[in-house]
Amino acid sequence: MRSLLLIVLLFFVLGFAHAFAQDQCDLAAVLIDKSNSGTAVYDKPDGKVKEHIKPAYDTEGMEVVHILRNQSKWLNIKWGTNKVGWVHSGSIGVWTRNQPNEIARLYSKPDKKSKVIVTLPTEDEQFAIIMECNGGWVFVRVLDAKKKPKEGWLPPEFQCAEPHTSCT
């Protein structure tokens, strides 16, 4: 009986810890918001709105931010003069880009040895919505060559967070 109780308790603790696990990230990304109200920034995941990011008019509604970590579909960001807060994943992204002699691919895991989910079109860059991150890798949603949505892990060298350059 004790061993059964210990096993149940262990699964509960491990499940609870996993639910609050945070992946450390270190990457630049772009917040795009053309609304008048701006993007809500929270004090913590599922917390209270602490302010709204309203990108400057001359940036076409784009604000470059730095993603620090993610937790359960939330991204912890830093912007401006060391302001920090949380935003919903899906409100931030990066442009994909192809490197000379290399083609951008999405992987099943943040590892180039994992299965390739999709090879991205080479003719132009596209905006990829960030769902989560792990180190410099981002789990994104993009459109494939047939304009169908695909999700997978995008390596750092195929990300561009500069809204006014081609990142080449």
Task: Walk along the chain (168 residues) in steps of 10 and give the mean pLDDT of each run.
Answer: 41 37 81 81 96 71 87 92 92 83 89 93 80 94 84 93 70
Please give the Cα distance from 148 to 167 (Å, whole number). 25
Q: What is the pLDDT of residue 67?
A: 94
Q: What is the pLDDT of residue 14?
A: 36
pTM for the predicted model, two decimal places: 0.78
132, 141 contact by CB (below 8 A):
no
CA dihedral sign of residues 74, 76, 77, 82 = positive
Domain spans, the chain: 22-168
Q: What is the pLDDT of residue 10?
A: 35
